[in-house]
Each structure stands twice: as C-alpha cells, then as structure tokens.
A and B are shown apart, each in its own frame.
Chain A
Amino acid sequence: MTSNNRRCVVSGLGVICAVGNNVEETWKNALNSVSGIHKTTSLDTKNCYADLAAEVNCDTLDDIECPDEKDRASKLCIKAMKEALNDAGLGDFADSSRVSVIIGSCVGGVLSIEQYHRHGKNVNEIPKMPIAAIASQVAEACHAGGIVTNVGNACAAGTISIALACDLIRAGKADVVIAGGSDSFASVPYSGFLSLHALDENGCSPFNHCNGITLGEGAGIVIVESLEHAEKRNAKRYCEVLGAGVTSDAHHITAPREDGVCLLEAMDRAVRNSGIKKSDIGYLNAHGTGTGKNDNAEINAFHKFFDEENPTLSVSSTKVMTGHCLGAAGAIEAVFSIKALTTNTVLPTLHYTAEDSEALKAKVGTMDYVQNTPRAKELECVMSNNVAFGGTNASIVFSKKPGDVQSQVAKDKKIAVTGIGIVSPIGNSKEIYLDAVKNGKLPESASICSTVTNDDYKELGIKMAFYRKLDNLGQLQTVSGMRALKDANFTVTEDNAKQIGIIVGTSEGGLGATYDFEELIAEAGNAGGSAFKFPHTVYNAAGGYLSILSGIKGYGVTITTGPLSGLDSIGYSMNVIHDGQEEAMMATGTDENLPIITELCQKMNVAADKVVEPYSNSNGFVVGDGSVSIIMETEDYAKSRGAKVYCYALGYGNGRKNVKFGHISGSDEALDLAIKDALNDAGVSVDEIDAVCGFANGFKKIDDIEKGAYARVFGDKLASLPLFQVKERVGEGRAASATLAAAEAALMLGGELAEENAYFIANGEVSKKKVATAGFKKILVTSFATGGSYSAVVLGK
C-alpha cells in the first residue's frame, strides 16, 4: 500500500465551462445530458464551414482584483480556483512556500494577443499574452508562495498539471497544490482547427460520427493535498490521486499514432505507478475529441490494453457536452472523473441513435461505451486520458483506495550530466560557444538572435522533408536537442526510446508563432488560417518536433513559467529520474527573438537601446534567444553506456514572493529562499559553493535583486565569489539563457571551460577579472520569473 507520506488526496474542486459555472451546476446539467454546444456568439464565422462552440456564459468573471490586467484565460482560472479553495475550506495562503500552483493551457492569453494586434497595440495587453501569466496570477490571487508552474502541452496540459502536482507533493516539495487548466475560445484556435478541417459542422460526435471536434472553453481546478496536511486540518477528501503516465508519440505534430501504442504506454505507466490492476478501473474518461484519427487510435489502444483483463470497462467522452476545452480539457475531465468516482455514476457520450449504437458495438465489442444517459456503477478507480498536438499522451488514475503508488523509488541515484547542446546568437555548437567565451565575444546589437542554417541540418543528418516543417522555435529546439544527444553519444533506439524523456522550458513558447497566425487571420478572416502554421502556435510543438526527430518516446512535458523555466526543466527532470520514470532526461530551455518579441520588449520599456552588460545599471537588456539542451541520466545508466560525465545535478530549489505578473520588484527575498532550498535539497552548505552562474542582464531592476540576495546569502564570502553571467554574450534569452547558465557550470566542472571572466561584488562595487575554473567543485545556478518566482540548481563534481 502507498505509504502515508506519499498519499495525495483531492480536497477541493472547481470548474467553469459551457455546461455550468460551478461544479454543482455543471454536474447537474451533465447528469441531465445537457450539452453546452451552440452557435458561437463571440467570433466572426464568415465563410467558415463550422460555427458551433461551447462558450462560457458568466457575467461575474470580472469580479476579481484588477480584471483589466488579466486575460480571459486567467479570469476563468481564478474563478474555478476560488470555488475549489472554498470547497476545500482553504483561503489566503500568506505566501506560504508549501502551497504551489500548476496550471495547464494551450493558447493562454491569445485573446490579449488579438486585442493588442487589432486595437492599437496597447502596452497593457502585453503581460497578459503568455501562458505564464495564468499560474502566476492564480498564485497572486490566493498568495500561494510555493512553486508556480505552467504546463504548455496543449490539450494534455490539464492532466499533466495534476500529475506534476502529485510529483511535487511526493517529493516533499509541497503540501497543497492548486492544479488544473484553463483556456478561452478565440479566433486563433477556431481558425486553426478550421484550416485543419478538424471541426465538425454538426457538433462533435465522439466514437460515433467522428467528423471533427467542437471547441469549448473553461477552466478546471483540483486541490491536491498531502494526506498528512489534509488530515491535520480535518479536510474534506474526495479521493486519492494515484499514478500517472506521460509519453511521447514521436510520430506527427498534429496526428496521433494510429496504433495508439504510446497512449497505451501512458496508460500502462499510470496503472503501474498506481500499483493497481487494470481491472480495478471501472470508468475511463477518454480524450474522445470526435476526430476519426483520435477516436480510432483510442479505440485501438483501449482494445489492446483492456480487452484481456477488463473487457467490460465503461468509457465515455464528456467533450460532447463541454466541447474541447484544450488545455482546460484534462482539468475539467478530472473534475468529471472525480465526481463520477465519488457518486458512482458514469457520464455518457451523447447523441447516439439505435443505429449509431449498433455501429459502435461492431467497433468496440464488449467494452461498455456509455451512451445518452448516465449509468449507475460501483466504482473503485477511474482513469482520465488526454492527448495533444506534439504527440503528448497523458493518463492519470483517481481512486477511493490508496493503491500502491510508485514514487521517488530512485531518490538515492546520482544524476550525471552527460551531454550539452548549444544554439545561441553567437553560434550553434558547444565548440563555437566555448571559442566565443575564450575570445570575449559580445553582442553586436541590442537585439540579437540565433540563426540555424542548412549546415546545422547537414551536420546532424536532418533531412529537408523534416526541417521544412519547422518554425523558428522548432529549428532552435531540434538543433540544440540533437547536438546534446550527439555530445552525450546517446543513440536513441527502439530499446531505449522509452527510457529517455524531454522537458522543455520556455518563457514565451509559441507566442511569436501565435502572433504570426493572428496577423494572418486578421487579414484573411477566420476562414483563411494556415494548417501548416497552426501547429506552431502550441507551446509544446518545439518539444514535439524534437521527439519526432530523435525518436524519444518517454516523458515529454513543456513548462512555461518565464526565464526560470530553463532551470525548472532541470529540477523537474531530476524529479522524473528520482521517481524512476526514466533513466535519462533531456532538460532544455528555448526561447526565440522574432521581431515581434523585440517589439513587445521595447513597448514594455525593458529592451536596452544599445549593447549593455550585466551590472551596468541600465534601463533595459539586450534581447536575445537560443536553445540549450542538457542530457541528464542516472550514474548507473551513464556508466553502463560508457558516457563521459561533466558533473552531477545535486539539488534544485524554488522561492516565491507574489508580485504582479510582469513585475519583479519587491520579490527580492524569494531568491534567497530559492538558493537556500536548492542548497538544502543538495545537502550542500553556502561555504561549499565555489561560483555562481546567475541571471544578471544589465537591467538594474533585475540585477539589483540578484546582488542583494547574494549579499544576504553569502555574506562576507561574496567579495571573493566569482559570478558568471552568460547574458553578457547572448543577451536576455530567457529560458535558453537559464539553461545556458547551467550548461556553463557543467562545462566548468567538466574541465571544458578552463577560464572565464567573472564578476565580483564587494561593498556594492562590481569588478571583473579572468578566473581559472579548475578548482571548482560546486556551482550554484539561479534564474527568475516575473510575478516573483526564482529557481536555483546546484551542480557539482
């Protein structure tokens, strides 16, 4: 049985969708088979072949603090969060470091992008655009002071958020996690799915007519709590959250694998990690979008996985009521699944005629696809599945009993860093980068970007048939990822493809591509979207392309929480390995500098107008970009394949003090907390740190926070502590720079970067001199995000 300190329980639920504005209303309507799908009232449908959507009808979304500063996606999410906290008997958390927020989204602040582009380019819209705003604003609204993370895996993001919530609690990093997902209905996804001919003009008909999806919108929140914490406060307990499984198809950017084998693998991992039998699952809330490709792949996977041990499993898709709520889907469906479990009621898939039922029976055999009316059924465990663009599969189990959850089973294993891939504005390989460091290369202008060329593709054996599909972000990601695998001498084969996973960290992800798509349809109308370009708008497309190219079929998650995402990718990767999910992980940080990104930085008054260096007390930074990938694996695995080891990942930590998203001032001491948390996690004292790879970029507001925190944490030691700053060379490359700082630390510890210019701070004065790195044994790496979050990682010999 799961030990008590690993048990995660659900103590509160919140939901808003087209079926209802709270859990009670939504559940009641669902039991009455009420669908929220109607003719859209919010979008232009001229020349569009489908005009249905499942829109939220709620006039109290603005009853929150500063509604003008929040996109609809944040407003939906905050509404669901408030209901869930109220349901759980929880309130304001006073910046407690034990309360985390993890929210999934697909299109994030896309309505704010549209508003900015079509209505006068108002600077106030900019902070509302990235997905990262959502979890930060949710945390701000309830003063959650723990880890704040957004998951960008498109339509599987909501499920992955709940899985990550449990991972954090089981790793001892949180007591309470506000987990869920949010997305709003908007022109970009509507036009995008139209261009793919993936909308059903008659409304989605999952597992039945399968002519396409109908888009919805909404948010779902699940309060996940450690059993210990819930018991201590005598909290309501809906159920346990058991194990989850996340895998990558390595197949196609929009279409699922027809054979469904990687979805099967996700379900298999969920069952194994839960320590239950397949036959314990009484109901499966399927992804069930209503496209032929999705539904047939799912039916295949369910047959293969359940036919033998659970042939009469009940299955349904609730999207026929809620529409496809994209990044919110997994969260809303988690709420449905938990309500099904606790009330012993399976919700149906609607709109089946007698003839349809016969046709379905021929496809699904003995399996119980519940149709038209709810079914009373004694349930012990339920499963919820979601899949996404980029080839992501996610499956999670909710249960009345504790199961036998497998987590932190590899906590004692040392994690080795064995490969580094660098794409940066000063060159696209580790060797070129090292040369640039040696030669003291600096940015040539205040806005710089990486350029991937055919030479990169040629060297890495990437064929035109593949690279022609990539957008800029995908180019950066695939080249850095393949270079990291090459550097680690890691060959992905059929045998090890499932033993390695990818976590991509990105600050803005597909924001640039989304803006590009918005420009297209603002001109051409919603009927004029591009099927070729639309997949690039999802934040996990870059990671998806890397999985397809490399063949990596294990864990695959994209986190998007600001620049620190490039360090959190390392922290979360360590946790995946410690959980025994994978033997190896690729942790990456990727962000791009398209002209629109520089425009947004300039409008926000954070872009420097000339080249500036760290600690120069400037009013802005050099806008940069890049992609840096790091291969991490258990020491045993590295040894077994004779890999060279740069260094070891010893620990990671986080800190948060809530300030408004888009701002950072006033959150200073949270960086102290992140550093102390990382040192504690690594079992390393302040005195043992030989150097810091930081995040200073020249912008006084940011650099002063770093200086202040280091002075408080390191005291007198600071004067002789070398500080290395990658942004002097590559500009503010957000997540890419955060991972690059870690890569530099690894290069120093691994003996490949023998000397480098370091900054020293003594009595507030900054000096710079060349330092030999050979004696370094432990290096601290730090990063930040607006909204008041900081992350730190400790690497050591």
Chain B
Amino acid sequence: MANEEIKSKLKAFFMSDLGVDGDVLNYDTPLFGEEIGLDSVDSLEIISFVDDNFGVSMTGVAKENFQSIDTIAAFIEKNKA
C-alpha cells in the first residue's frame, strides 16, 4: 500500500470514528495537541484500527509515533510485513 493511501485511510478513520473535523486535520497536525485533542482512549482506538487494517501492532509503542498522521503512517510503512 502506498504511503499516501495509508494516510488517507488514517484520515478517514479519524473523521468517521473519532469525530475529528477533516477541515483542520492535515497529515502533520499534532493529534494530541489542543486543536484535535486526542487522549488515551483515542490511542486505544488507533492501535486497534492500525492492527485490524494494516496488520501492524502499535501496542506499547513510543508516544512520538502517534504524533501525527505522518508519524503513524511512517511507523506502519516501517513495520508492515
């Protein structure tokens, strides 16, 4: 899967499942910052989504990988089989 496709899938997930407004969500927008405001409950959902859709486990992975769509996509790219 191309990097762009992963990012677009992630963005669609944030919009449909975590209620994020797509207009303010760019690939480099900090997810856990004030504007988007993700928290620990949301990170559980991200882990579950990434596992189900890309077969990559993010359980126990360092925080910086969750910073933005860019960093999550990079982690998936690096770790997918």
Which A residues are closer than 8 A to B by beta carbons?
Answer: 195-197, 252-255, 463-470, 530-532, 535
Evaluate contact between A532 and B20: CB separation under 8 angstroms.
no
Residues of B within 8 A of A253 (CB): 41
A464–B22 CA distance with the chains assembled, in angstroms: 11
Evaluate contact between B48 and A195: CB separation under 8 angstroms.
yes
Known: A468-B36, A531-B42. 8 other contacts (CB 8 A): A195-B44, A195-B48, A252-B39, A253-B41, A255-B40, A464-B21, A465-B35, A531-B44
Say how far B25's CB is from chain A's closest CB, in angstroms. Answer: 9
Closest chain B residue to A252 by CB distance?
A: B39
Residues of B within 8 A of A195 (CB): 44, 48
B46-67 vs A: 1/0 string, CB under 8 Å? Answer: 0010000000000000000000
Could you say which of B35, B39, B45 contacts A464, with CB atoms under 8 Å apart? B35
- Interface centre among A252, A254, A469, by most chain B C-beta atoms within 10 angstroms, is A469
Evaluate contact between A196 and B21: CB separation under 8 angstroms.
no
**How many interface residues does B have (CB within 8 Å)?**
17
Evaluate contact between A532 and B41: CB separation under 8 angstroms.
yes
Across chains A and B, which 8 residue pairs bring their CB atoms closest together, nearest first? Answer: A465-B37, A468-B19, A531-B44, A464-B21, A532-B45, A531-B41, A531-B45, A468-B20
Closest chain B residue to A195 by CB distance?
A: B44
Say how far A578's CB is from chain B's closest CB, in angstroms. Answer: 38
Residues of B within 8 A of A470 (CB): 19
| B4 at the binding interface (Cβ < 8 Å) | no
Evaluate contact between A468 and B21: CB separation under 8 angstroms.
yes
Say how far B37's CB is from chain A's closest CB, in angstroms. Answer: 3
B8-52 vs A: 1/0 string, CB under 8 Å? Answer: 000000000111110010000000001111011110110010000
Evaluate contact between B40 and A464: CB separation under 8 angstroms.
no
Which B residues are closer than 8 A to A by beta carbons?
Answer: 17-21, 24, 34-37, 39-42, 44-45, 48
Say how far B30's CB is from chain A's closest CB, in angstroms. Answer: 11
Closest chain A residue to B15 by CB distance?
A: A468
Evaluate contact between B37 and A463: CB separation under 8 angstroms.
yes
Residues of A within 8 A of B37 (CB): 463-466, 468
A695–B64 CA distance with the chains assembled, in angstroms: 55
Residues of A within 8 A of B39 (CB): 252
Closest chain B residue to A527 by CB distance?
A: B48
Residues of B within 8 A of A196 (CB): 41, 44
Closest chain B residue to A529 by CB distance?
A: B48
A466–B48 CA distance with the chains assembled, in angstroms: 22
Say how far B57's CB is from chain A's closest CB, in angstroms. Answer: 13
Closest chain B residue to A255 by CB distance?
A: B40
Evaluate contact between A532 and B36: CB separation under 8 angstroms.
no
Residues of B within 8 A of A197 (CB): 44
Majority-rule SS of A interface residues: loop
Sample of 21 A–B contacts (CB below 8 Å): A195-B44, A253-B41, A254-B41, A463-B35, A463-B37, A464-B20, A464-B21, A464-B24, A464-B35, A465-B34, A465-B37, A466-B37, A468-B18, A468-B36, A469-B19, A530-B45, A531-B41, A531-B42, A531-B44, A531-B48, A532-B45
Could you say which of A252, A465, A530, A535 contacts B36, with CB atoms under 8 Å apart? A465
Residues of A within 8 A of B34 (CB): 465
Say how far A531's CB is from chain B's closest CB, in angstroms. Answer: 4
Closest chain A residue to B32 by CB distance?
A: A465
Evaluate contact between A532 and B42: CB separation under 8 angstroms.
yes
A470–B37 CA distance with the chains assembled, in angstroms: 13
Say how far A471's CB is from chain B's closest CB, in angstroms. Answer: 9
Residues of B within 8 A of A468 (CB): 18-21, 36-37
Residues of A within 8 A of B44 (CB): 195-197, 531
A717–B35 CA distance with the chains assembled, in angstroms: 59
A466–B37 CA distance with the chains assembled, in angstroms: 7
Closest chain B residue to A465 by CB distance?
A: B37
Say how far B39's CB is from chain A's closest CB, in angstroms. Answer: 7
A61–B37 CA distance with the chains assembled, in angstroms: 46
A467–B20 CA distance with the chains assembled, in angstroms: 9
Say how far A292's CB is from chain B's closest CB, in angstroms. Answer: 12
Say how far B49's CB is from chain A's closest CB, in angstroms. Answer: 10
Evaluate contact between B35 and A532: CB separation under 8 angstroms.
no
A197–B43 CA distance with the chains assembled, in angstroms: 11
Residues of B within 8 A of A467 (CB): 19
Residues of B within 8 A of A464 (CB): 20-21, 24, 35-37
Say how far B61's CB is from chain A's closest CB, in angstroms. Answer: 14
- Interface centre among B19, B39, B42, B45, by most chain A C-beta atoms within 10 angstroms, is B19
A238–B41 CA distance with the chains assembled, in angstroms: 43
A469–B45 CA distance with the chains assembled, in angstroms: 13
Say how far A117's CB is from chain B's closest CB, in angstroms. Answer: 21
Closest chain B residue to A253 by CB distance?
A: B41
A466–B42 CA distance with the chains assembled, in angstroms: 13
Closest chain B residue to A471 by CB distance?
A: B19
- Interface centre among A196, A197, A465, A469, by most chain B C-beta atoms within 10 angstroms, is A465
Say how far A385's CB is from chain B's closest CB, in angstroms. Answer: 24
A468–B35 CA distance with the chains assembled, in angstroms: 11
A642–B18 CA distance with the chains assembled, in angstroms: 41
A221–B40 CA distance with the chains assembled, in angstroms: 36
Residues of A within 8 A of B24 (CB): 464
Say how far A213's CB is from chain B's closest CB, in angstroms. Answer: 16
Closest chain B residue to A468 by CB distance?
A: B19
Closest chain B residue to A535 by CB distance?
A: B41
A470–B18 CA distance with the chains assembled, in angstroms: 10
Say how far B33's CB is from chain A's closest CB, in angstroms. Answer: 8
- Interface centre among B17, B35, B44, by most chain A C-beta atoms within 10 angstroms, is B44
Given contacts A196-B44, A465-B35, contact A532 B21 (CB under 8 A): no
A468–B17 CA distance with the chains assembled, in angstroms: 9
Closest chain A residue to B38 by CB distance?
A: A465
A469–B41 CA distance with the chains assembled, in angstroms: 10
A195–B46 CA distance with the chains assembled, in angstroms: 12
